[in-house]
Amino acid sequence: MKVNYIIVGCGLAGISFAEVLRRANKSYVVIEDNSQRSSSVAGGIYNPVILKRFSAVWKAQEQLDVLRPFYQGLEELLNVKLDHKIELRRLFSSIEEQNNWFLACDNLKLHGFLDPNIIGSSFDGINDTFGYGKVLQAGRIDTALLITNFRKYLESNNAIIKASFKHAALETHQDGIAYKNIKADYIIFAEGFGLNSNPFFNDLPLNGTKGELITIHAPELQLDVVIKSSVFVIPLGNDIYRIGATYERNDKTNVPSEAGKDELVTKLNKVLKCKYTIVDHVAGIRPTVRDRRPLVGQHGTHKHMYVLNGLGTRGVMIGPYVATALFEYIERGTVLDPELDIRRFQT
Ligand SMILES: Cc1cc2nc3c(=O)[nH]c(=O)nc-3n(C[C@H](O)[C@H](O)[C@H](O)COP(=O)(O)OP(=O)(O)OC[C@H]3O[C@@H](n4cnc5c(N)ncnc54)[C@H](O)[C@@H]3O)c2cc1C
């Protein structure tokens, strides 16, 4: 088999790159072993503002400009609804937080992302005495649906191999690479936290941050917007809500923990005033990087090997943006933004 690209990993990074290739009429095969699950458990929120600190996400508008047509194209390809333009509100817990919102609205970097009007108490099931601020240009991508359907699409095109990629079996040649019976011009490693087992790129400072989410059934809640307080409350329909997430730096397993659940329940109980039952609990490792920027670029010695990683806590927004940048770099020789280029870690 001869293809232009091998992609290792079929999470948000791998799918984003595969979709860029599809649009450019390049051939590819994806290798996926289900060892990581960050993308499938993700809350799926895209949001241009860091609501804890009231600062703008890095390159927020540029990422949003790529995001919209990108997921729309995937919706058309897969014939499913992925992009839910649901309203996102920051829940205030004091007058001081309201004042901080007004100050943030005056910040030019947040211009176009925050609505200056405070929304009053709105839902019987929420402790919302101090009201809300509305974030503009936010929404939710159904990442689990995207992954399931994108993998089906790959299967029907014989473009996915469900197996673990064995790095030791990779051969590098002058004009490309070979892996078992596949020859390719390039290989893209999009392994998420699995990058730590990749001998070609495991010197990069990918820390990994475990995140847990619970899913609840709350018929009395009747909430139709996403709420961000100390946790996200994300309506999924049919009285089901996803609550998350935790941030844990020591445990690097995908196993949901009692401690994670307790933390989410404690925080949720401060927000909700109604009854609920927990119906699911999941965990994944976010591929987070020391300097909070993605890991994109070419291997120092093996010129046909590339990495697409470090999507961190915001893979939905940043995935399409960095996949496009990497493609332009490889195929058109465009300069990579030094803030995402892995050469920033070379001494
Ligand atoms: C609890 C939680 C909530 C989150 N919520 C949000 C959110 O609301 N919004 C947002 O934007 N982001 C969110 N994120 C972050 C987001 O999920 C990540 O940024 C994103 O999923 C990273 O995508 P990735 O493709 O790089 O990694 P992954 O999703 O980990 O994908 C890597 C893939 O590579 C495969 N792989 C690895 N090694 C190999 C190998 N050797 N052979 C074959 N396959 C291999 C893995 O099985 C995996 O499928 C959340 C994350 C978590 C954990």
**Coil, helix or strand at residue 336:** coil
pLDDT tens digit sequence for 268-286: 999 999 999 999 999 999 9
| Burial per residue of 175-206, b for 16 or more beta-carbon CB atoms within 10 angstroms, e otherwise | ebbbbeeebbbbbbbbbbbbbbebebbeebeb
Predicted model pTM: 0.97
Number of neighbours of residue 234 by Cβ within 10 angstroms: 24
Contact 309 CB / ligand 1 (< 6 Å): yes
Residue spans of beta strands (DSSP E) within 120-208: 132-135, 139-141, 160-162, 170-173, 176-179, 182-189
Number of neighbours of residue 257 by Cβ within 10 angstroms: 16
Q: 213 and 200: one domain?
A: no
**Coil, helix or strand at residue 242:** strand
Amino acid 52: pLDDT: 84
- Which two three-digit tokens encode residue 218? 């709350």
Q: 340 and 299: one domain?
A: yes
* Atom 41 (ligand 1) nearest CA: 165
- Which two three-digit tokens encode residue 236? 């999924």
- Tell me the one-letter amino acid at 296: V
E strand or H helix that includes residue 297: strand 295-298
Say how far apart CA 313 and CA 292 lie, in whole Å: 9
Residue 320 belongs to a domain:
yes
Amino acid 346: pLDDT: 84
Low-confidence ranges of the chain (pLDDT < 70): 347
Q: Pick the last residue of a domain from 286, 309, 328.
A: 286
Indicate which CATH number applies to the domain containing 324. 3.50.50.60
Could you tell me the residue range of the domain that residue 257 belongs to? 88-137+209-286
Contact 213 CB / ligand 1 (< 6 Å): yes
**Contact call for residues 295 and 206 (beta carbons, < 8 A):** yes
Amino acid 54: pLDDT: 87
In which residue are the tokens 């996926």 written? 32
pLDDT tens digit sequence for 131-189: 999 999 999 999 999 999 999 999 999 999 999 999 999 999 999 999 999 999 999 99
Contact 198 CB / ligand 1 (< 6 Å): no
Number of domains in the chain: 2
Quote the distance between the C-alpha of residue 22 and its chain's center. Answer: 20
Q: Pick the last residue of a domain from 286, 313, 331.
A: 286
